[in-house]
Amino acid sequence: MGTITKREHRLADGRELFYFDDADTTLSPERAPDLRTLTPRPETATMRQDPLTGEWISIATARQNRVVLPPTELDPLAPQSPGNPSEIPSDYDVAVFENRSPSFGPLLTDEDAPHSLADLSEIGIGRVRTSIGRCEVVCFSPEHTGAFGSISASRARTVIEAWADRTAALSAIDGIQQVFPFENRGEAIGVTLGHPHGQIYAYPYITPRTQRLLASVEAYGSRLFGDILDFERAGERMLIAGTRWSAYVPFAARWPLEVHLMPHRQVPDFAHTTDDERAELATLYLRLLRGVDALYDTPTPYIAAWHQAPVNLHRDDVRLHLQLTSPRRAADKLKFLAGSEAAMGAWVGDIPPETQAAALREAIARADEENPV
């Protein structure tokens, strides 16, 4: 078997496009140019501060124009064809490109950009900053339908390599404070494209969820993630225990279906994982996702959020980890956030985490038997 190969290209409007070829690819190294005539990219959005919370909200009006559930023959993430002037000129294994209508970017510098984290933490009324940053689309496969769980182990390893490569590259951009790879799956989550894909956001600030995490680390100490993992690995909510990674339902799960996946050693982000860690993750993560889908007769909607340490803070004590959540609380029921949860952030769990863990273990076992990785 060969090695995963990265190939750099440009789209017609100047956006970067990266092909990541599988180690066992059958594709030619040649890639066609993008010959489309495209209108200019939209202006970079503007962030506004909520003075009641200090949070920054990016007002990205261009996202109103994005494609919503197009027919298969007009799939914008499929390889280009005579009848489909899509975003990717050639056939591919994995492709990553800059989002045409991003929430952050395309500007990376601007006179109204955030000056520093201290600047962002100040509270004022009517404060605005330019939404510098970057948003990228990660296509897991050229197929029109599916999700991460439907790809091969070799392809999963390629996607993980792409996450690591892009995390390193985006973290090196001046002004980027956090890099976030994620996958939204299913119309119940609000997905607008059925093509198997995820995204990567490079933020000009540290996200609110991560700010709360940093406060917990500072209150508890640098052993927080290690102690959590030891606690979960010794308990009844464990799902999969690998050599280098473990998956479990967390003790205080918010969602009806919530799973965390964490490396056994301190790793701040994908860029710092080893080849052995990436190889094990490729198979373990597929087992987990296929088990999640085996819970019911139809695919499970979810958000797979890969939390990474901020670019410049707590690199030695914030650990890379997955938080996979689904609003599905039964075969035909979804959880909708009630007033207490949506307005106050005061969550109420519908299913005991131990009950959900037992159901997930059975589903993973069925998936392992029916569709082994």
Give the per-residue pLDDT at 63. Answer: 86
DSSP 8-state class, residue 79: B
Closest CA to 279 of 242, 308, 233: 242
- For the domain 207-373, what is the CATH code? 3.30.428.10
**Res. 23 pLDDT band, cuts 50 70 90:** very high
User: How far from chain centre, in Å, is Cα 207?
Assistant: 14
**Res. 66 pLDDT band, cuts 50 70 90:** confident
Tens of pLDDT, residue by residue over 26-65, are 999 999 999 999 999 999 999 999 999 999 999 999 888 7
- Quick check: is 264 catalytic? no
> Residue 32: phi, psi to the nearest 5?
-75, 150
Mean pLDDT of the region 348-370: 97
**3-class SS of residue 150:** helix
Q: DSSP string spanning 160-176?
A: HHHHHHHHHHHHTSTT-
Strands (E) located in 94-168: 94-98, 128-130, 134-139
Give percent of the chain with pLDDT exceeding 70: 100
Mean pLDDT of the region 318-323: 98
Give the per-residue pLDDT at 1. Answer: 62
Mean pLDDT of the region 93-105: 97
Residue 287 near residue 295 (C-beta atoms within 8 A): no
User: Which CATH class, in words, describes the domain spanning 1-205?
Assistant: alpha beta
CA distance 249 to 200: 25
Does position 300 have pLDDT exceeding 90, yes or no?
Answer: yes
Give the per-residue pLDDT at 65. Answer: 78
Which part of the chain is CATH 3.30.428.10? 1-205, 207-373
DSSP alpha helices (H): ranges in the chain? Answer: 117-121, 153-171, 208-220, 224-233, 275-293, 339-344, 353-370
Residue 303 near residue 196 (C-beta atoms within 8 A): no
DSSP 8-state class, residue 348: -
Amino acid at 104: F
Give the bridge partners for 57, in sequence order.
48
CA distance 302 to 299: 9
DSSP 8-state class, residue 299: P
Give the per-residue pLDDT at 43. Answer: 95
Query: Count of residues for the chain?
Result: 373
Give the bridge partners for 178, in sequence order.
203
Give the per-residue pLDDT at 34. Answer: 98
Give the per-residue pLDDT at 192. Answer: 87
Task: List the catalytic residue out of 197, 260, 307, 321.
Answer: 197
Residue 200 near residue 180 (C-beta atoms within 8 A): yes
Tens of pLDDT, residue by residue over 183-221, are 999 999 989 899 999 999 999 999 999 999 999 999 999
Q: How far is CA 272 from CA 42, 247, 279, in A?
A: 34, 20, 14
Count CA atoms within 13 Å of residue 318 on its CB side: 23
User: How far from chain centre, in Å, is Cα 30?
Assistant: 29
Closest CA to 285 of 259, 250, 251: 259
